Structure 1
Amino acid sequence: MNAKALFVATTLVLFTVVGWGAETESTLTSVSTWRAGAAKVAITPNEPMCMAGYASRTRPADGKLTELWAKALVLEDEEGYRGVVLTLDLVGIDRTLSQSICDALKGRYGLQRDQIVICTSHTHSGPVVGLNLAPLHHQLLADPQRRAIDDWVASFQDQMIELVRNAIGNLEPSDVTWGSGTATFAVNRRENPEAAVPERRTQGQLQGPSDHDVPVLAVRDASGRLTAILFGYACHATTLSGYQWSGDYPGYAQMNLEDEHPGCVALFFAGCGADQKPLPRRTVELAEHYGRRLADAVDSVLLTTQMQAVQGPLRTSYSEIDLPFDELPTRDEIELNSKSDNRYEVARAEMLLKQIDGGDPLLPTYPYPVSAWTIGDGPLLTTLGGEVVVDYALRLKSELTGVQTWVAGYANDVMAYVPSRRVLGEGGYEGGGAMVYYGLPTSWAPCIEKDIVQEVHRQVESLSIDDTNDLTRSR
């Protein structure tokens, strides 16, 4: 039996022996093998700033529905090895900013790149973030607006360093458990016209794949008090589209959980929801409603299922694979695009021409981030960059450990939509049309799904070999 098969088989035995979803109260381990600490900080801009996510907006934010938060969870295993999960109420983060944060955390706390995961909620009611979605936002803004963004990003980076310091300072002996629940408000937006959704939902006729799993990691201190909850869901945070800062439904879900469990830090990561929407949408009431439903799904796991105690070491890996583009445009084609009637085509073309004229030719690949963590004998947490469609989560769960496999998108670098081979072939916005808004030169090559899934399997096998043979971890 190879290492990957052994990893899967061990997990299946766990399900068989323990029994999944028994409706009893959560039980804690008698001896804590973990230390954990969590912290949070408000990152809502204090000055008027342009908002990210929609091309239709024409002015800066003019109010606040909720705070925007950055949160950190530090897990430390029995050997003193640490992993940090950062969750951000932001539309995304670009590679340059992500690298800068990780470099600072390495210099300050000795954390290697594979020990850090940066997850964004993809709220469309947060600020423009650096060069993320540059042709949609940054490239078209006046200088004063760009300076406001740059100033906010500089302050935000400082906040992230202090945030992790506070989370490390809060480390204490903890019990860590995991489980999985269900929420059903996400709808496949490629297969269901928005106007048709209420009737189709009523009749049970919604079309297309979705991922309704709600993974939950719970952290409790020695007294049994809940101190942190990490949870996820695969759905765009696009309920709202106005001019007020808001965490959208993920923000409301976190608020509900923290209200229900005083002293707890609730952290959200977005799953593979690039082709999933909360429908119907467009009202604050609906954002609150979906947030409450997601929080209820988490609470259902916490209160009515036998969550599984996590034992064993934390193992982490990270790499950037050379993900190929399709055929690159010629300079003549880019110059033609610079004369387009579409201002976003023009903005991208100007960016690409500036890059070429600066001596940096267009590259045939992109350094795509893939990360995998095994949290003891508990969840396998895989994080993928970009706006990842649901096919990836469904496939990886089927090939690995089912609901014990957690797949986060929008992580570490949100550089583009990431279609599956199916969606790439079908085309449309997720299949390639959205590339212009991210400033990438063309669509992905047909091997995209194979390359990403192959890298996930490679990392999982490496981690399982490490666990099986008790090898020394790469630091």
Structure 2
Amino acid sequence: MPFSMSVKTLDYTPSWPTYPSLWMGGYCGAPRGNQGVVDRRLRAQCVVIDDGSGPKVLLRVDVVSIPRYVHQAIRTAVLPLVGNNNGNFLIIVSHTHSGPMIGTTSPSPYVMMELSPADIAAIEGTTTVFINQMIALVQQTVAMARTPVTLWYKEGNTTIGYNRAEEPHVLTTISALIARRSSDNGLHTVLFGYACHAVSRGNDRVFCSDYPGAATDVISNALGVQTLFFQGAAGDQEPNDPHSPGQVTSLGTTLGNAVVSMVNSGGWNAVTGPVATYYNEINIPLQVDFGDPAAAIRARNSYNNRLDTFPPNDFAYRHAEVMIEKFVGPGLPKVFPMPIQRWNLGGLNILAMSHEVLSQYAVTLQNQTPGWLWIMAYANETEGYVAGHDVLQAGESKHWGYEAGWTDDDQMSGPGSWTTFYAWPSPLKFNPSGAAAAGSTERLVLDACTAMLNL
């Protein structure tokens, strides 16, 4: 099956006044804003793959997260360019914690940093600029002339991190898809993926694409082609210490050199096409059924009690304020939406899961799926963590309950856990004892992914 491809890279590194806000995303606590200092530029990159039946579009961005309403705004605008087929458009973020905060809902800039209404309005202004830039990038890339290419896939290994949630899995797989020009077999583009939190720089006020940007630079400089990084199931994968600017270069060089070595050696597998795409959304229940009036009253009382427990300058106090406001406004959410997407390229399956997915899902799906399977996460939208059943059951006994979303009470968001910063009222659904039961988070996610892979 003949392929053709177009690729475009945009340096979108925010600067004032084009971007009304330079508040940064990715770490909680004290307000954190950029003041014009940039280390490694932030990229948005778009690749169009056409198998003769129309464009399939991958958009990847150096940003920590994209909330649901931002994802939907971008998707709605570009869908006509891909035949109004949801499966044909996919966004992946690198999850660098050294980029701008995009969106004002989940995570909540008020809960995370106690920002004023004026500052939150500025973030919304930056979000509008961001949305328009991403839409324009897709439009421009789709309109470009496409180069006939052949596609090839290969996997390698390197280690730049560890499992911070005390789980047994350390993901070391490098997935790589290269395009070669049909005319002369010269290298055209490199797409590569790895699973590790993009936090190797640490918490400062400098814009930086972190180790994915450093690795991309190593590959592009060595091979002379555009290179795109895609994040994996990194929810519990932490880069090696110490977190520092020097570690960005060190880990990025390790990963980048591994990819260069892969490209320069043999063993590549032909990706034959055609491309079949699929898109689905599942709704994961929360641990508390907030559609039950009695449960909602209990939750409201609990969050009122939290206002008496924490000082007003604590993010758990601000989270309780936000939850109580929802009781008297739109009501608390009842489900956690999760888009899932598959690209079957003929010889290669790409499975993309939204949110901060933990490594257990990647390992389970890889083990049960024959053939080449590239797991991507942080896909389309990122509004929280999707942990496996054992982490959800463990609560604060693993990594202080951060990935589980609860600490001493599984009916509430845990102070200092992801459900607080992403502004959710309770953890995701799990059964407190035994294996994952029907209707639990793990079963819903694995069953949905397995069903999609079997289409």
Q: TM-score, normalised by structure 1?
A: 0.82
Alignment partner, residue 228 of structure 1: 189
SS, match of residue 403 in structure 2: helix
Alignment partner, residue 452 of structure 1: 445
Output one character per residue of 1:402-458: Cα deviation in whole Å (capped at 9) or x when no partner.
6x1111111111111111011112222111132111111101111111110100111
Call closer, same or farther: CA 1:366–1:256 in 2, change over 3 Å.
same
Give distance in 2, aligned partners of 1:237 and 1:215: 17
2:193 is aligned with 1:209: no
2:378 is aligned with 1:394: no
Give distance in 1, aligned partners of 2:218 and 2:140: 23
Q: How does 1:72-151 map to 2 (within 5 A)?
A: 72-78=46-52, 80-107=53-80, 110-131=83-104, 132-134=106-108, 140-151=114-125
Give distance in 2, aligned partners of 1:136 and 1:423: 28
Residue 351 (structure 1) shift: 2.6
Q: How does 1:20-99 map to 2 (within 5 A)?
A: 33-47=2-16, 49-62=22-35, 63-78=37-52, 80-99=53-72
CA contact 2:108–2:423 (8 Å) conserved in 1: yes
* Structure 1: 5+ residue stretches without partners: 1-31, 192-206, 463-475
Task: Letter of the 2:266 partner, please give it.
Answer: T
Q: Which segment is superposed worse, 38-47 or 102-111?
A: 102-111
Q: How does 1:118-267 map to 2 (within 5 A)?
A: 118-131=91-104, 132-134=106-108, 140-168=114-142, 169-191=144-166, 208-222=168-182, 223-240=184-201, 241-262=203-224, 264-267=225-228
CA contact 2:56–2:82 (8 Å) conserved in 1: no
CA contact 1:97–1:130 (8 Å) conserved in 2: yes
- How many residue pairs match? The answer is 411
Output one character per residue of 1:447-470: Cα deviation in whole Å (capped at 9) or x when no partner.
1111101001111112xxxxxxxx
Residue 170 (structure 1) shift: 3.9
Call closer, same or farther: CA 1:444–1:220 in 2, change over 3 Å.
same
CA contact 1:138–1:146 (8 Å) conserved in 2: no
Call closer, same or farther: CA 1:461–1:81 in 2, change over 3 Å.
farther
CA contact 1:135–1:344 (8 Å) conserved in 2: no
Give distance in 2, aligned partners of 1:281 and 1:146: 32
Residue 111 (structure 1) shift: 4.0
Give distance in 1, aligned partners of 2:108 and 2:265: 45
Output one character per residue of 1:223-281: Cα deviation in whole Å (capped at 9) or x when no partner.
3332222111111111112111001001111111121222x221111111111111113
Alignment partner, residue 322 of structure 2: 351
Alignment partner, residue 197 of structure 1: none
Output one character per residue of 1:89-148: Cα deviation in whole Å (capped at 9) or x when no partner.
001100000000000002455442221111111111011111341156677212342233
Give distance in 2, aligned partners of 1:326 and 1:118: 28
Output one character per residue of 1:349-372: Cα deviation in whole Å (capped at 9) or x when no partner.
3333333322x3323322211111
Alignment partner, residue 433 of structure 2: none
Alignment partner, residue 25 of structure 1: none
Output one character per residue of 1:380-400: Cα deviation in whole Å (capped at 9) or x when no partner.
111111111110100000000
Give distance in 2, aligned partners of 1:86 and 1:392: 23
* Structure 2: 5+ residue stretches without partners: 291-295, 396-400, 406-416, 431-439
SS, match of residue 64 in structure 1: coil
Alignment partner, residue 373 of structure 1: 343
Alignment partner, residue 14 of structure 1: none
The 4+ residue runs of structure 1 with deviation greater than 6 A are none
CA contact 2:109–2:120 (8 Å) conserved in 1: no
Q: Which segment is superposed worse, 279-288 or 439-448?
A: 279-288
Give distance in 1, aligned partners of 2:335 and 2:9: 36
Give distance in 2, aligned partners of 1:340 and 1:300: 55
CA contact 1:184–1:212 (8 Å) conserved in 2: yes
Task: Letter of the 1:352 partner, please give it.
Answer: M
CA contact 1:55–1:136 (8 Å) conserved in 2: no
CA contact 1:248–1:287 (8 Å) conserved in 2: yes
Task: Letter of the 2:61 partner, please give it.
Answer: L
Task: Letter of the 1:255 partner, please give it.
Answer: D
Give distance in 2, aligned partners of 1:297 and 1:116: 29
CA contact 1:281–1:287 (8 Å) conserved in 2: no
Give distance in 1, aligned partners of 2:220 and 2:163: 29
Call closer, same or farther: CA 1:118–1:279 in 2, change over 3 Å.
same
Give distance in 2, aligned partners of 1:249 and 1:170: 31
2:333 is aligned with 1:363: yes
Give distance in 2, aligned partners of 1:334 and 1:305: 59
Give distance in 2, aligned partners of 1:326 and 1:156: 34
CA contact 2:212–2:229 (8 Å) conserved in 1: yes
* Structure that is richer in helix per residue: 1
CA contact 2:98–2:209 (8 Å) conserved in 1: yes
- Counterpart of 2:249 (choices 260, 280, 288) is 288
Alignment partner, residue 268 of structure 1: 229
- Counterpart of 2:276 (choices 306, 309, 315) is 315
Task: Letter of the 2:257 partner, please give it.
Answer: D
Question: What percent of counterpart residues are identical?
Answer: 27
CA contact 2:67–2:103 (8 Å) conserved in 1: yes
Query: Taking CA–CA contacts closer than 8 Å with sequence separation of 6 or more, which of the two structures ends up with the larger relative contact order?
Result: 1
Q: Which segment is superposed worse, 131-140 or 442-451?
A: 131-140
Q: How does 1:336-347 map to 2 (within 5 A)?
A: 336-341=305-310, 343-347=314-318
Give distance in 2, aligned partners of 1:45 and 1:137: 23
